[in-house]
Amino acid sequence: MELFARNGYHSTSISQIAKEAGVSKGLLYNYFDSKEALLHDIIMEAVEMANEVMGNILSSDADAAEQLRMMTEVTFGIIQKDLHYWKLMTSLAFQTDALTGLMPELRKMQEETIMVIAGIFRRLGAGEPEKEAFYYGAVLDGIMLHYMQMEEAYPIEEMKAFVIKRFLPEEQ
Amino acid sequence: MELFARNGYHSTSISQIAKEAGVSKGLLYNYFDSKEALLHDIIMEAVEMANEVMGNILSSDADAAEQLRMMTEVTFGIIQKDLHYWKLMTSLAFQTDALTGLMPELRKMQEETIMVIAGIFRRLGAGEPEKEAFYYGAVLDGIMLHYMQMEEAYPIEEMKAFVIKRFLPEEQ
Amino acid sequence: MELFARNGYHSTSISQIAKEAGVSKGLLYNYFDSKEALLHDIIMEAVEMANEVMGNILSSDADAAEQLRMMTEVTFGIIQKDLHYWKLMTSLAFQTDALTGLMPELRKMQEETIMVIAGIFRRLGAGEPEKEAFYYGAVLDGIMLHYMQMEEAYPIEEMKAFVIKRFLPEEQ
Amino acid sequence: MELFARNGYHSTSISQIAKEAGVSKGLLYNYFDSKEALLHDIIMEAVEMANEVMGNILSSDADAAEQLRMMTEVTFGIIQKDLHYWKLMTSLAFQTDALTGLMPELRKMQEETIMVIAGIFRRLGAGEPEKEAFYYGAVLDGIMLHYMQMEEAYPIEEMKAFVIKRFLPEEQ
DNA sequence: CATGAATGAGGCTTCATTCAT
DNA sequence: AATGAATGAAGCCTCATTCAT
């Protein structure tokens, strides 16, 4: 994952991965059928991790505003903690050739997430909850995009505060 | 550009490009020094196009609100018109290995754009114009990201209206 | 080595080498980093072989005349035994484009050899030992040149006797 | 010729030659059928030049000793004057692949030269005139070899004097 | 479970040569 | 007489994958 994220999927060779992992190429192929299968597993691990976090938030007994705040905080937190990981995830979203067979799965997940967030906004009393959900998702993804590109040069903490203030003005 | 955008930079071979363009591989190398140089030229064309549009808006005698509205409309318009083009541009931002010598140039451009937009928000009387500029940029890039991934399934027109309403509520 | 010597460095392709060696192209690259590295290794093997022979002669307790005779005999012997090898070595000296990073190393070796031979001539009481060494070297290299070009048509044995008579007239 | 000599036959492209000559590639092909034909013409020019010089010396009414001295002086002179040219000539002798169809011609010339020089040594009263001719040829070629490799670092003038003293000791 | 030697398809690039103008 | 756009074969090299051990 580190290598894929740092150098790109195509520029990372199985040899490099094996060397970095301290195992032989042969052994890698005992655990993963192909380079693409390895990528698939990496992605799925991320997806499941995200799903779990999301589920925890939704199943909590916090109110809608609190859930949105938590979701925002957690999103920022995850990205800041595993920047490389998410850089890879995002970059892959644009390398459609590397993801054949995986896209439908991801597409469905994305739609579900939108629905969940739309639900939160509905409970918050938004006029157009679904559009609001799209908008909220765009804000977060846009910020992540910029952060991934600029890294330390990006005012990530300030932006987090800014986002929370915009979507949850009544807090505090 | 079409092939790069559709299949990714690495998965597109010079052979494919030559065949699609209806010329020989050799001729490609009469016009571009290398595969990377070809990419460079494609990117630079996009950058210049964007710069020109931006310049036109800024040099117009419209007021700040009108300039922001134009910028938003134009951004949505450009993306919808040349989706492939901008898909490539965005995807490349994540294939750092394909852009080695080009990144500084692009980085500088990005910073300049932020400054320009911050100027507009300042004229609009925003409290934190620079953060507002980052935020506005994130919204647009986030929407583009989603639109690029979902294409026709994305409610692009509604989102445009939504964005304008958020940033320019006083209009109409 | 055989192919390089017979057809020249540039006219010998990696494909040919692999086929002749009965291995795949890929395997060649497991052992040699590049075509040039392969050449480098071939040359270095020759250089070390020559150095060892030379060292043996110089460290023997034979007198100067005997050492010169041995050196002459050994030189003729080596060339006759591994004609292809030395044909390659000599031909490479003229393909400066194939030897870029190797020339300094070879140049130094050549100078050392001249010094060693000059030492022998000094012990033999020659008036201008260094010029004599250059001259001796020229004679041997010139003969090798002709022999390499004419092969069996060249009177190599007679020339060996002729050289020894010229440089060591007092023998016998 | 300059480019062939400096960079090697294979490393010199027709494009380079055309650019250096200030003409188009197309025009080159109006005058020479192929790259190899161009090389052929270059070589033949050199061969004819050498033949003419040799003929002049032999048809002069100088005695054998004077002819040998002249031949020696002229050989050194020619090489020193057009080093690049002769470097190319010699390098080609080792790139048998570049000379297909030309070798027999050159081989015959070489043999004739040996016979001519043997004749001179016979007139000088040498015991084994043919071997002496081979030996003389080897000395000159060997020196040229070293000179071509070391260029200014080689004591070419001293070696010329040394050679003349060896083969024509009675002079002066 | 583990290795790494071996393969071969395919990628980027160069370059001698042709030909319409 | 002169150009240079165009071609395509061939060269070097990489790398995912297999398999005997």
pLDDT > 90 in chain D, percent: 60
| Set of chain B residues whose Cβ sits within 8 Å of the Cβ of A11 | 10, 97
Nearest-neighbour CA in chain D from C64: distance (Å): 22
Q: Measuring from the CA of residue A13 to each C1' atom, give the nucleotide at the shortest distance.
A: F15
Q: Measuring from the CA of residue C33 to each C1' atom, give the nucleotide at the shortest distance.
A: F13
Stated as kind and residue range, the H or E segment containing B135 is helix B129-150
Q: How far is CA B132 from CA B122, B155, D44, D144, in A?
A: 9, 24, 78, 78
Higher-confidence residue of B158 and A6: namely B158
Is A15 a residue whose pLDDT tops 50?
yes
Higher-confidence residue of D36 and C5: namely D36
Contacts of A115 (CB under 8 A, 6+ apart): A133
- The structural domains of chain C, with segments of one domain joined by +, span 36-171
Q: Which two tokens stand for residue D156?
A: 């070419």
Q: Which two tokens stand for residue B95?
A: 């294939």
Burial track A46-84 (b if 16+ CB lie within 10 A, e otherwise): beeebeebbeebeeeeeebeebbbbbbeebbebbeebee
Q: How far apart are CA D144 and CA D140, in angstroms?
A: 6
The pLDDT of residue D172 is: 45
The pLDDT of residue A101 is: 65
Task: Establish if D110 touches chain C: CB-CB under 8 angstroms.
Answer: yes
Is A171 a residue whose pLDDT tops 60?
no
Q: How far apart are CA C136 and CA C121, in angstroms?
A: 10
Contacts of B61 (CB under 8 A, 6+ apart): none
Contacts of C100 (CB under 8 A, 6+ apart): C36
Q: How far apart are CA D132 and CA D114, in angstroms?
A: 10
Most confident of A100-114, C79-93, D119-133: D119-133
Cβ neighbourhood burial of D93 (10 Å; 0-12, 13-18, 19+): buried
What's the rounded mean pLDDT across residues A126-130? 94
Is C172 a residue whose pLDDT tops 50?
no
Describe chain A by its helix, strand, coil percentages, rounded to 5.
80, 0, 20
What's the rounded mean pLDDT across residues B11-17? 95
Contact between residue D137 and residue C142 where contact means Cβ atoms under 8 Å apart: yes
The pLDDT of residue B172 is: 46
pTM: 0.83
What's the rounded mean pLDDT across residues D75-85? 88
Hey, are the CB atoms on D159 and C94 less than 8 Å from each other? no
When pLDDT is cut at 50, 70 and 90, the band that residue B98 belongs to is: low
| Nucleotide F13 C1' to residue C33 CA (A) | 9
pLDDT > 70 in chain D, percent: 94
Is D125 a residue whose pLDDT tops 90?
yes
Q: How far apart are CA C68 and CA D104, in angstroms?
A: 37
When pLDDT is cut at 50, 70 and 90, the band that residue C101 belongs to is: low
The pLDDT of residue A97 is: 62
The set of chains that have 3 or more CB pairs under 8 A with A is B
When pLDDT is cut at 50, 70 and 90, the band that residue B94 belongs to is: confident
Task: Tell me the per-residue pLDDT of B57-67, one tens digit each, with 9 for 90 and over.
Answer: 999 999 999 99
Question: Chain F: nucleotides under 7 Å from a protein CB?
Answer: 1-20
Contacts of A125 (CB under 8 A, 6+ apart): none
Of A11, A110, A146, the CB nearest to B137: A146
The pLDDT of residue D60 is: 92
Classify residue C23 as left (phi > 0), alpha (psi -120 to 50) or beta: beta
Task: Tell me the per-residue pLDDT of A129-158, one tens digit each, with 9 for 90 and over.
Answer: 999 999 999 999 999 999 988 888 899 999
Task: Tell me the per-residue pLDDT of B34-60, one tens digit each, with 9 for 90 and over.
Answer: 999 999 999 888 888 888 999 999 999
Contact between residue D167 and residue D160 where contact means Cβ atoms under 8 Å apart: no
Contact between residue C100 and residue D127 where contact means Cβ atoms under 8 Å apart: no
Stated as kind and residue range, the H or E segment containing B26 is helix B25-31
Describe chain D by its helix, strand, coil percentages, rounded to 5.
80, 0, 20
B12 CB inside 7 Å of strand E: yes
Q: Long-range CB contacts (< 8 A, 24+ apart) of B120-127?
A: B120/B64, B120/B67, B120/B68, B120/B71, B121/B64, B121/B68, B123/B63, B123/B64, B124/B64, B124/B65, B124/B68
Helix (H, G, I), strand (E, B) or coil at D128: coil
What's the rounded mean pLDDT across residues D113-130? 94
Contact between residue B162 and residue B76 where contact means Cβ atoms under 8 Å apart: no
Task: Tell me the per-residue pLDDT of A31-80, one tens digit each, with 9 for 90 and over.
Answer: 999 999 999 898 888 888 888 998 999 999 999 999 999 999 999 999 99
Looking at 3.40.50.300, 3.10.180.10, 1.10.357.10, 3.40.50.720, the CATH number of the domain B36-171 comes to 1.10.357.10
Task: Tell me the per-residue pLDDT of D28-53, one tens digit each, with 9 for 90 and over.
Answer: 999 999 999 999 898 888 888 888 99
Contacts of A34 (CB under 8 A, 6+ apart): none
| Set of chain A residues whose Cβ sits within 8 Å of the Cβ of B137 | 142, 146
The pLDDT of residue C126 is: 93
pLDDT > 90 in chain C, percent: 63
Is D99 a residue whose pLDDT tops 90?
no
Describe chain B by its helix, strand, coil percentages, rounded to 5.
80, 0, 20
Average pLDDT, chain C: 89
CB atoms within 10 A of CB C32: 17
| Nucleotide E10 C1' to residue B12 CA (A) | 12
Burial track B85-117 (b if 16+ CB lie within 10 A, e otherwise): bbbbbbbbbbbbebbeebeeebeeeeeebbebb
Residue carrying structure tokens 């445009």: B160
The pLDDT of residue B55 is: 92
Q: Which two tokens stand for residue A168?
A: 């949850």
Question: Chain E: nucleotides under 7 Å from a protein CB?
Answer: 1-20
Chains B and A touch (3+ CB pairs under 8 A): yes
The pLDDT of residue A77 is: 94
Query: Which one-letter amino acid corresponds to residue A172?
Result: Q
Q: How far apart are CA B139 and CA C86, in angstroms?
A: 71
The set of chains that have 3 or more CB pairs under 8 A with D is C
Contacts of D166 (CB under 8 A, 6+ apart): C135, D139
Higher-confidence residue of B105 and C45: namely C45
pLDDT > 70 in chain A, percent: 94
Crossing angle, helix C103-123 and helix C129-150, to 10 degrees?
120
